[in-house]
């Protein structure tokens, strides 16, 4: 059963940048309403796309990584491929939008 792992400023390099597979990073904060809306959909996609790694980063607790990717609105979803950001979406996506985002990174 796939799940969404939580990462931190100190773990981001190993958890995201050094991973060869596609990684979806959810930049969120616990107080953010849209973040709470998208979180269960990301959990659902983690079960559907077992060839993709799903990671979340709390921007309140890990400001350095959020700043380095210029995160100004949350949720922000970034797809990484071979350690490089390839697609960015700001704001909550619905199920279909999230699925399309992930599929776009697999092509």
Among residues 12, 11, 75, 24, the alpha carbon closest in space to that of 51 is found at: 24
When pLDDT is averaged across residues 66-88 and rounded to a whole number, the result is 95
Q: Catalytic residue among 23, 24, 32, 71, which?
A: 32
- For the record, the structure tokens of 86 come out as 């390839």
Q: With the CA atoms of 102, 86, 37 and 2 taken in that order, what torsion angle do they form, in degrees rounded to the nearest 10?
A: 50
Can you give the residue range of the structural domain that contains 66? 5-106
Q: Could you please report the per-residue DSSP string of the chain?
A: ---PEEE-TTTHIIIIIT--SEEEEEEE-TT-HHHHHHHHHHHHHHHH-TTEEEEEEETTT-HHHHHHTT--SSSEEEEEETTEEEEEEES---HHHHHHHHHHHH-
Full-model pTM: 0.95
| pLDDT greater than 60 at residue 48 | yes
CA pair distance 3, 43, nearest whole angstrom? 6
Q: Of these residues, 22, 23, 24, 35, which one is catalytic? A: 35
Q: Is 89 a catalytic residue?
A: no
Annotated active-site residue 32? The verdict is yes
Calculate the average pLDDT of the chain. 94
The whole-angstrom separation of Cα 82 and Cα 55 is 15
CATH number, position 70: 3.40.30.10
The residue that leads in pLDDT, 107 or 49, is: 49
Beta partners for 77?
26, 89
Domain count, the chain: 1
């Amino acid at each position: 059963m796939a799940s969404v792992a939580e990462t931190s400023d100190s773990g981001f390099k190993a958890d995201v940048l050094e991973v060869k597979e596609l990684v979806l990073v959810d930049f969120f904060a616990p107080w953010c309403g849209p973040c709470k809306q998208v979180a269960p959909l990301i959990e659902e996609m983690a079960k559907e796309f077992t060839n993709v790694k799903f990671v979340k980063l709390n921007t309140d607790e890990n400001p350095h990584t959020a700043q380095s990717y210029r995160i100004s609105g949350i949720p922000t979803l970034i797809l990484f491929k071979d350690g490089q950001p390839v697609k960015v979406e700001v704001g909550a996506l619905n199920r279909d939008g999230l699925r399309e985002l992930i599929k776009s990174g697999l092509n």
